[in-house]
Structure 1
Amino acid sequence: MINEPPFKKILYWCPKCNVPLIDKRCSCGSEAKKLNLLIPYELRPALSADVALIKSLIEEKFGPVFLSKVLLLNKTGGADRADLVIMNGERLGWLIFDPIERKYVFDIAVEGLPFIINTVTKGIIDIYTHTDYAKAKGRIGGKRLDLLSPVPPGTYMVKYKHRFGTGIVKEDNKIKVKELVEVVPQKLPNPDWDQVIQKNRNHLKKLEHAAIREIKQHMNDRPTANVSFSGGKDSTAILQLAKKAGVKKAFFIDTGIEFPETVDFIRSKDVEIIQKGGDFWQAVERAGPPAKDNRWCCKLLKLHPLKIYLSDVGSCVTVQGNRWYESWNRASLEETSQNPANPLQLNISPIRSWRALEVYLYLWWQKLEINPLYEKGLERIGCYLCPAMLESEYETLRQLHPDYAERWDEFIDMWADKKGLPDEFLNWGLWRWRGLPPKMRVICKERGVLVNYDYSLKAGPQIKRTKKQPVVKEILPEPSGDKKTDLGYDVSAIRKDFPILGDVVYLDNAATSFSPEPVIDAIIDFEHNYRANIGRGVHRLTQISSQKYWHAHEKVATFIGGESGITVFTKNTTEGINMVAGGISWNQGDRIVTTILEHHSNLLPWRALSKKGVFVDVIGLNSSYSPDLSELKKVICPQTKLVAVTYASNVLGVVTPVKEIAEICHENGVMLLVDGAQAVPHMPVNVTDISCDFFVFSGHKMLGPTGTGVLWMKEASIEPLFLGGGMVESVTGEGFTPESGYKKYEAGTPNISGGIALGVAADYLSGIGMDAVREYEETLTNRLIERLKKIPGVTVYSPGRPEDRIGVVSFNVEGFRPHGIAQELDENADIMVRSGYHCCQPLMEYLGLKEGTVRASIGLYNTMHEIDLLIASIEEIVG
């Protein structure tokens, strides 16, 4: 259990001036009377919307009654909002929101009766005339009495002889009398909040002086100081105090799901706005709604942007507005605390002992502008769909911004339907917890809502849900922040096609890329609507399937400028290379030239030919990590039959001069195979312009499905590696006649849906434009390399010129193993990179890298924010 700090458990009240006090003595000299507060002892003024709500509920029950100008709210425990309302230094009653019935009730307190008794015109139950009191024996207080006529359930005033009290009527038409007391009507002074401030001025000065002294004492503990500003009341007070202490900088993290009123309020201040780090709406589709006990959104939308911000700011002291009374998690908050999520930040909490009452009085005393949402009925200012928000506040959101609420309601309803959860998941706000707390478990048990052993809601096909009409709404505008780059490249729009990106930073695109929704839809379309084998029949499904599969070949050929050649679908790059290795007619003594850059897939198939007496020559690199062409020219000899070279390295990102290599090959009558696996997804490729003989690449690296790839051939110059159905035109007793074109090389039933979807991937990339992709990725790559090189202890292995590289960046951190870096990035920053040899172990030996490298590989959907987050995370690891 958390050790409870020295909470202020008592409210002081001046009986003479009739004002609340924040210390024991009023400026008038009077000694204060005391009122015991309820846990968690948080106390705040009732603002405009609160007063209007309380007044409407009381008047609905008791008629037009008098309320003082100064009302206080003491937060108490309950299923949702539960506030003790204090007036004239006494309990007036309880304001409660029922999250099940979705309505407010006000329970009057006996202590408040003297202030309203003279103006009450209804809602009084007279024991003599309305109940069968004669059956009651002894005292009336605490008894349950039968009502003589039906009365709606609720709280009522009770009259018995010359005494008054309160009672509760239940559905059984009985009233339970709480207690009866002598009530003497009272009429007290009715000061306003300006007078409250005046009477507390000296106390406020002391609070301000202590807070400023605390800030000054620690603001130089780190090289720089700033203020974390959220737009709420606490941070507004902190901003003022910090400025008076000499702190000049402040920042606000825009999560992208802030109230527009908050963003407008922030913009009116001299505060730096840190734009959102992730897309909540994309992430929530994957991660599900955040919960009080699973606040994944904070890491994505706040901690990650903060990490990037602090990486530029450096070690700093941050003044923040956290207070003990906000939650039990903050009840042990010290004067200073190290941010557990970031070693660069030391936090100061100079108002940790203030209640909301002190905060508001200070703001009003200083005549500071306050976020307008408070006056509209919100107690807590944050993201408009934060799970920590009360359901009562969510009802306020429905009034203030119905379009925002409708969008979230629609998502929660969809998620509940997807997971088989009951209507109460949305209707009661049970989405706010993964594991329901005791108070909600009790409600669920009473109402017959099933709960699992881990306190999560019971799900399953047995759940009957009430289907709602689709919400017809206008799409909300994107939150503030850069949507497009200076290149006009709309990465935000692209990322919407990749829902898997929501809550992760994926920088392992050299291993495999993600597929956009159109590619996935193409696979589903095949399976649902026309699944049939190709070229094996005449029925309509076969005809559709065959035509789409053929058309996919045409799309891919056009994408790589290979319309004049033969485009064969394979499982991957590896299979394409093996098909060439097994399809060429080799003679003993033939030679193959390759480079030390190559992936194992472009090395091992050639080495395996040693059984046929074929030799493999491997050339080295120049100072720019590019193949040494002078060595290539020397090693090529009359016995050389093939040169096999990568277009772009999957380790160093170097783009090799394939056109120059092709010229050397042609001059010597040598065939050229180009491994384009890393080039096709990231840059314009034209195989005709390269003038190679073979070109291979994988679908899964260019947004296509796994298990798809391409072998392009200038001519059908090799024998098919696989024989069987689908690749023959006719078969006789003595032999067979193969099909022409690509069919000759695709024996058996191929990956039909994968091939069709690969064509869609080619269309998708063409729609964006590979020149645009190349330029955009180059911008990200340049920043990544430049920033990495500035980190002490980091070694980057990359060509110097931007035009000589793609977005594959290998690096190492002194004192850390590559796997350790990758694991820490994953666990602490949700960043996925690759580590180790990257299937290029000979290259690692050549470079002297015994454990390989860390590799970050960029894709067309990555953002500058993600690059900055990687940099900040590496800086944090290095320390």
Structure 2
Amino acid sequence: MKREPAVKKVLYWCDQCNVPLIGRTCACGARVREIPLLQPHDLRPALAADMALIRGLLTERFGNVPLPRVVLLNKTGGVDRADLVIAHGDRLGWLTFDPIARKFSLDIAPEALPHILPHVTRGIIDLEAEPAVSAHKGRIGGKQFPLAAPVPDGTAIVSYKNRFGTGIVRDGQVRVKELVPVEPRSRPDPGWDEVIEKNRYHLKNLERNAVRTIKKHMNDRPCVNVSFSGGKDSTAVLHLARKAGVEKAFFIDTGLELPETVEFAASQGVEIIKKGGDFFQAVEKAGPPGKDHRWCCKLLKLQPLKIYLAGLGPCVTIQGNRWYESRNRSDLDETSQNPANPLQLNVSPIRNWRALEVFLYLWWREAPMNPLYEMGLERVGCYLCPAVLESEYEGLREMHPELTDRWDEFLIRWAEKNGLPDAYHQWGLWRWRALPPKMREVCRDRGIGVNDDFTLREAPKSVKKVATMKSTGTREPAPPAENESVPDEIRKDFPILGDIVYLDNAATTFSPEPVVEALVEFEHRYRANVGRGVHRLTRIATQRYWHAHEKVARFIGGEAGVTVFTKNATDAINMVAQGLSWNPGDRVATTILEHHSNLLPWRALAKQGVALDVIGIDADYSLDLAALEETLAGGGVRLVTVTHASNVLGVTTPVPEISRLCREHGALLLVDGAQSLPHMPVNVADLGCDFLCFAGHKMFGPTGTGVLWMRDLLIEPAMLGGGMVVSVTAEGYVPAEGYQRYEAGTPNVGGGIGLGVAVDYLSAIGMEKIHRHEERLTARLIEGLSGIDGVTVYAGRQPGARIGIVSFTIDGVHPQEAAQMLDEDADILVRSGHHCCQPLMEHLDLPEGTVRASMAAFTTEQEIDLLIAAVDEIGRGR
């Protein structure tokens, strides 16, 4: 059973001084009284915007009714904002916001009448003058009567035979509450400075106890800091911690903070931690976060915090969490281990403070405060956080329309996409995935359907909306700003990245929006076979498919050769293996670095009498060129086939030098460029190869696409059939001269066109720029992983001779287990196992394989840092 904390359920009030008290005694020595509070028993001062709102509602209804300078707000439960307003130590009324009508109301409490009645100039209903009341026999309090003249809906003051009370007017009728004699009452009108003075003793005790708590635990870990959010609670904690001798503090800028908060945090001398993921990219896939589904916190706060703590090590973090903030925090202990970040021990020195104590303390110590509180916000944080009240968000629409307009536009679009009623975004129902009872009741009363699992029911589809597809298949990424990094340019084109860290690009990378749009455009607008017709669709398809070959050839500097589209790199390698004429005694030389796709097709030639020589690597994983030269000098080597970059170690092979050796000994050269093409500039003339094979799905292209480039028509087609011939007779056939000779049957037309768009996309960014970007990330990852105890890194040693692939192992943790933990605990997707390179794994004595992280142009420094932090966490827990 959850224990109930020792929360303060009453407010103390000194009637003589007319001030609230946070303890049982007043400095004047007078006797104090207790005012019961409503759950969750938290109360705060009414600040400038609150006072203006209450004063405006009073004036609108009752005339120029003065407010005392000290007014308190006791938060209560409701559909949205609901505050019990306390003035002069009595209930003034209930301040509420209606998210459907989008307006505030103030319902006056009977206890307020002695204070306000002498000043009321309108809004009083004389029940004696109402025919329905005068004809009524018996008790009037608690009854409902029709009104003879129109009266605006809302709260009203009623009078009857020298007694007064309050009532609620709705639809031309008034429901009367209790009527009582009212004696006007007058009390002093102190300001908050006097409230502070009367509470000075209690404030000193609060400060002393909080500082003592901080000092008690600040040395429990090697270092100590303050978690600063820019809100009042963390501001108080920052002040207290600095009194205790703690200087270091950090602020996580989620990217959704209000500018006033960021500016305030900077003014307090705290370290600003840059934002984590891109919320607006993630939300397109994950949908709006909810109070019951706050995935955004993990992306925007926990991930940056994990990176920060990984660099800091175990620490004590002083935080401003309080019992009164939420049900989840109502049993918060003095210290608690952060479940999301084991490196962090959290200390909560003000957990038993109410918001009133926090404000009084900050005013007493003349500590600066975030200006947003005076502007009407109760909660300071991400401006679109689901925990923000609709009343506050309505105010933000006026303060920062440049921020709220973007979010409103998304919510409307999301609701339309998912068939949700307008109430989803108009009433703030997006704030819950499963609606709570109070919101289900609102929906039921207004005819909004709710499913059995309490999610919103789809709205009736009277008009089907069809999105217009733009023909932008060749769209390029926007030109980068001068100081913009590669990921900044392009991540918006990869919506799938939103809430994950994808580091499995060596297996398959993602396609950007222009490639996806090209595929959709083909299917929707000109889907047709190629080279087999004269109608308009086949002419369009044929031209674009042919043009895609030209684009790919240009991308690799291979316009002078033959560029054939295949299913993948494996298909391309097999075409060479099966298309060359082999003789017994021929030899093929390859390397220990090869993927199975560049090994098994050559082993299969043994039944034709072809021998296979496997060249080893040096201690730094570089290819043993001396051994290759010796093999070539032995004679009989028909073909050398090498990977351009290892898919396990990331090392690149010196292809130009290998090409020179091949020419000297009369051997052909095939280069497996599956891993190099997406990461670095590749030109077949510079490589000096005879064949280049690569896959489209590793370089932003569609799956099921690949390329075989040949210096000349060096092989026989492995597949015969339609489309690869000029003519067929009874005696034989005449094969086509170009790439068509090797593309029998119906090809992957849309995929080939998409591959052409992918190379356009890469070219627009610049392969040299991509290579420099990944080179920096690779160095950062290798350095970070190498500094973790128990982690062994397997990667190329020379920065200029490697790509963005890094393999590693963690002592005592199976690679598959590590990969699963990274996915489940940190949303990081990596590869584990042998990576289709078992001979290399045997050579490295890694029977279980490795964990492999592989980058792409869209990978960010923050993602690399998060991986390092997550691996460090796994290593610590092994």
Above 0.5 in TM-score? yes
Match of 2:618 in 1: 622
Contact 1:625 1:654 in 2 (8 A): yes
Match of 1:27 in 2: 27
CA distance in 1, matches of 2:12, 2:176: 30
Match of 1:192 in 2: 191
Residue from 508, 532, 535 that aligns with 1:536: 532
User: Equivalences for 1:209-358 in 2 at 5 Å?
Assistant: 209-358=208-357
535-544 vs 457-466, which deviates more? 457-466
Contact 2:486 2:857 in 1 (8 A): no
Cα offset, 1:529, TM superposition: 2.0
Contact 1:291 1:387 in 2 (8 A): yes
493-502 vs 402-411, which deviates more? 493-502
Contact 1:219 1:225 in 2 (8 A): yes
Give 2:100's aligned amino acid: I
Residue from 568, 584, 588 that aligns with 1:588: 584
Q: How many corresponding residue pairs? A: 864
**SS class of match (1:674):** strand
In structure 2, the CA distance between the partners of 1:487 and 1:428, relative to structure 1 (3 Å rule), is closer
- TM-score when normalising by structure 2: 0.97
Cα offset, 1:447, TM superposition: 0.8
Residue from 577, 598, 602 that aligns with 1:606: 602
Residue 504 (structure 2) pairs with residue 508 (structure 1):
yes
Question: Per-residue CA shift, 1:689-730, capped at 9, x if unaligned?
Answer: 211111100000011111100000001010111111111111
Cα offset, 1:615, TM superposition: 1.8
In structure 2, the CA distance between the partners of 1:356 and 1:180, relative to structure 1 (3 Å rule), is same
619-628 vs 401-410, which deviates more? 619-628
CA distance in 2, matches of 1:812, 1:120: 78
Contact 1:334 1:349 in 2 (8 A): yes
Match of 1:820 in 2: 817
User: Equivalences for 1:361-760 in 2 at 5 Å?
Assistant: 361-459=360-458, 462=461, 489-636=485-632, 637-760=634-757
In structure 2, the CA distance between the partners of 1:487 and 1:178, relative to structure 1 (3 Å rule), is closer
Give 2:103's aligned amino acid: K
Match of 2:155 in 1: 155
Cα offset, 1:486, TM superposition: 10
**SS class of match (2:180):** strand
Cα offset, 1:33, TM superposition: 0.9
CA distance in 2, matches of 1:784, 1:704: 26
Match of 1:790 in 2: 787
Match of 2:115 in 1: 115
Residue 7 (structure 2) pairs with residue 10 (structure 1):
no
CA distance in 2, matches of 1:865, 1:66: 54
425-434 vs 150-159, which deviates more? 150-159
**SS class of match (1:527):** helix
Cα offset, 1:467, TM superposition: 12
Cα offset, 1:769, TM superposition: 1.2
Contact 1:218 1:317 in 2 (8 A): yes
Cα offset, 1:461, TM superposition: 5.8
CA distance in 2, matches of 1:130, 1:754: 81
CA distance in 1, matches of 2:460, 2:222: 59
Question: Per-residue CA shift, 1:795-844, capped at 9, x if unaligned?
Answer: 11112111121111000000000001100001111101000010111111
CA distance in 2, matches of 1:425, 1:2: 34
CA distance in 1, matches of 2:107, 2:665: 97
User: Equivalences for 1:64-213 in 2 at 5 Å?
Assistant: 64-171=64-171, 173-213=172-212
CA distance in 2, matches of 1:486, 1:507: 27
Contact 2:486 2:770 in 1 (8 A): no
Give 1:46's aligned amino acid: A
**SS class of match (1:180):** coil
CA distance in 2, matches of 1:62, 1:499: 54
Match of 2:473 in 1: none
Question: Per-residue CA shift, 1:545-604, capped at 9, x if unaligned?
Answer: 111111111111111111111000001000001111111111122211111111010111
Give 2:525's aligned amino acid: N
Give 1:524's aligned amino acid: V
CA distance in 2, matches of 1:258, 1:817: 40
Cα offset, 1:464, TM superposition: 6.7
CA distance in 1, matches of 2:299, 2:853: 20
Question: Per-residue CA shift, 1:379-420, capped at 9, x if unaligned?
Answer: 000001000000000000101011211110000001111111
CA distance in 2, matches of 1:488, 1:232: 32
Cα offset, 1:106, TM superposition: 0.6
Cα offset, 1:63, TM superposition: 1.0
Give 1:47's aligned amino acid: L
- TM-score when normalising by structure 1: 0.97
Give 2:816's aligned amino acid: H
Contact 2:322 2:351 in 1 (8 A): yes
Give 2:237's aligned amino acid: I
In structure 2, the CA distance between the partners of 1:578 and 1:792, relative to structure 1 (3 Å rule), is same
Q: Percent identity?
A: 65
Residue 827 (structure 2) pairs with residue 835 (structure 1):
no
Q: Which runs of 5+ in 1 are unaligned?
A: 469-482
CA distance in 1, matches of 2:279, 2:66: 46
Give 1:459's aligned amino acid: E
CA distance in 2, matches of 1:771, 1:231: 42
Cα offset, 1:146, TM superposition: 2.5
In structure 2, the CA distance between the partners of 1:620 and 1:198, relative to structure 1 (3 Å rule), is same
Contact 2:795 2:807 in 1 (8 A): yes
Match of 1:803 in 2: 800
**SS class of match (2:324):** helix
CA distance in 2, matches of 1:620, 1:690: 21
CA distance in 2, matches of 1:131, 1:406: 51
Give 1:552's aligned amino acid: A
Give 1:139's aligned amino acid: R
CA distance in 2, matches of 1:322, 1:796: 40
CA distance in 1, matches of 2:462, 2:426: 15
Contact 1:66 1:115 in 2 (8 A): no
CA distance in 1, matches of 2:542, 2:430: 47
CA distance in 2, matches of 1:489, 1:347: 36
Give 2:605's aligned amino acid: L
